[in-house]
Amino acid sequence: MRIHIINPAADFPSYHTADVFAAWDLGGRTTVADLSTTTLAAFVPPNWHIRLTDEAITPLPDHPAAEDADIVAITGKVSQRNRMLRLADRYRALGRRVVIGGSYASLSPEDVRPHADVLVTGEIEDIAAELFADLAAGKPRDHYQGTRPDLRRSPLPRWDLYPNQGANLGAIQTSRGCPFQCDFCDVIQYLGRKQRHKDPDQVVAELEVLHRHGYRRVFLADDNFTVYRNRAHDMLAALRRWNEAHADAPMRFMTQVSIDLARDADLMAACKAAGLDSVFIGIETINEESLRQAGKRQNLYQSTSDALAAILSHGIAVSGGIIVGFDADGPDIFDRLAGFIHESPVPVLSVGALVAPPGTPLHDRLAAEGRLADASPQSAASPFDTNIRPARMSRRQLLDGLARLCDDIYSPAAYGRRIATFLTAYGGPAAGRAAAPQPVPLPPLLRGVLKRLSGFGPAEKRMILEGLTAARWRPDAQLEVVEALARYAQIRHMLSSARSLTPSARPAG
């Protein structure tokens, strides 16, 4: 049997994709290597031929003339919905059996069902053997429902099949699920509130494989890595020991945490010691009433500014998510957020409109109130669209205000100031300047990105030069500054793409 496993291209550039590389003719790249396709490939029987495609790195033709696989397996998230379904329809037209699974299929099966010969919902571990046996026999069912498995049975992903040269970070998942109850989040609908964990030895084995494939940075693809403190300490100790044994070529780690990490100095120190020096945090808003209404009480234990300062003082860089459009948000929220962001030590903030994903408590409440604006919110083209009707402003006011906010905080001058504020906060008072300026490492690919970005105008060029000059005196923060500048290129590309949308979807401003 021959199987082609596909991770489709995103429907629209986002804060977290790397579309700018291809757009600027620098080659296809992805920010994080795809874990879903490589994990699925690990369950395929050994006598099958496997082809694996990540379209972020190697796009498929829009109109394939042929497909030599017997089975085409497609996975994907909500941000890939349109491309996923188009590919499925095209390969079915070629007579291939199409299997669709992943988070989007699990959360919106009724949308995917007409496009799949075989629909797989839920997690794969406990149903893989039956699924592949039925496919081999040529008599698969039309639907397989996965379970919430013990992750200690999850196999090593097949990174030997992946185009690793096109990924900036490797990926390891140490747990699934999240115990919190944010009403707009669909993670717990898909993966549950009971967090399940891999053993540290499993994670170290996956780390060894990624290291052999050349990775030196890894994203720990957990929904909340530090929520269970004892388990986090055990995993961090294993990562620290591994790095100590590979001191000539250690790994650096990034993951997702909640902002209450700031209340645990021992855990922050353990993160830094293990090489976990970059985190994504769902800041969401500075409107405390919005946080309460959304059930995000873990963000209310201390001020956001104090929490960010505490995390950065431990030498852990932060990127964050910001959401506008909560019921407690009035038209003044945009100026309030702009004031907070301009003073923030966090250069990269993913700012977007509130969306109510199907299956979430927010979706159910807004549906009951008649406040869903679109029957198919999954197909929203960008972070600048929403399926809700806000309570205290019009939908147009929300989207226009969001566009103006992004234009403001992502001006070159504003972004440069946040990089400077980051350098002041990073590492705390003990972080000393170098005695003499140190060269900033710029790989050829990033040098090409920054050269193109500096050509946008004198403001962009000034921001880059000032950022790199300041980083020469802070060798401990150089990689973070370079990463922030590269992310700025992607954000500018995304904002430019948003303006090319049709007037009904394009953010004004």
Which pLDDT tens digits describe the chain residue by residue (509 residues)?
Answer: 999 999 999 999 999 999 999 999 999 999 999 999 999 999 999 999 999 999 999 999 988 778 899 999 999 998 999 999 999 999 999 999 999 999 999 999 999 999 999 999 999 999 999 999 999 999 999 999 999 999 998 999 999 999 999 999 999 999 999 888 899 988 878 888 889 999 999 999 999 999 999 999 999 999 999 999 999 999 999 999 999 999 999 999 999 999 999 999 999 999 999 999 999 999 999 999 999 999 998 999 899 999 999 999 999 999 999 999 999 999 999 999 999 999 999 999 999 999 998 889 999 999 999 999 865 544 455 688 899 999 999 999 999 999 999 999 999 999 999 999 999 999 977 677 888 999 999 999 999 999 999 999 999 999 999 999 999 999 999 999 999 999 999 999 999 988 776 444 444 33
Provide the token pair at 458. Answer: 């004198």
Cα(418)–Cα(317) distance, integer angstroms: 12
Provide the 8-state DSSP code for 388: B
Helix axes 412-425, 333-342, angle to 10 degrees: 50
Query: Cβ(262)–Cβ(302) under 8 Å?
Result: yes
Six-digit token pair at 255?
């993951």
| Chosen domain end from 360, 395, 421 | 421
Same domain, 354 and 217: yes
Q: Is 38 found in the same domain as 69?
A: yes
CA nearest neighbour of 131 among 140, 119, 122? 140
Number of domains in the chain: 3
- Same-domain pairing of 491 and 345: no
Task: Examine residue 163 and state whether it is found in any structural domain, yes or no.
Answer: no
**CATH code (residue 97):** 3.40.50
Same domain, 286 and 316: yes
Tens digits of residue pLDDT in 464-477: 999 999 999 999 99
Residue 164 falls within a domain, yes or no? no
Max Cα–Cα distance, the chain, nearest Å: 70
Same domain, residue pair 417 and 475: no
Q: Are 11 and 82 in contact (CB under 8 A)?
A: yes
**Beta strands per DSSP E along 313-359:** 317-324, 349-353
Please state, in angstroms and rounded to a whole number, the distance separating the CA atoms of residues 48 and 35. 20
Domain match, 182 and 59 both:
no
- DSSP per position, 236-286: HHHHHHHHHHTTTS--EEEEEE-GGGGG-HHHHHHHHHHTEEEEEEEEE-S
Which neighbouring-strand residues pair with 119? 100, 143
Q: Are residues 284 and 316 in the same domain?
A: yes
Examine the domain organization and report whether 405 and 438 are in the same domain.
Answer: no
Write the CATH number for 356.
Answer: 3.20.20.70
Same domain, 473 and 328: no
Supply the DSSP symbol for 443. -
Of the three residues 421, 448, 463, the one that is the final residue of a domain is 421
Q: Does 152 fall in a domain? A: no
SS3 71: strand
One domain, residues 377 and 247 = yes
Same domain, 243 and 373: yes
pLDDT at 434: 86
In a domain, 55, yes or no: yes
Domain encompassing residue 213: 173-421
Whether residue 69 is found in the same domain as residue 204: no
Q: Quote the pTM value.
A: 0.94
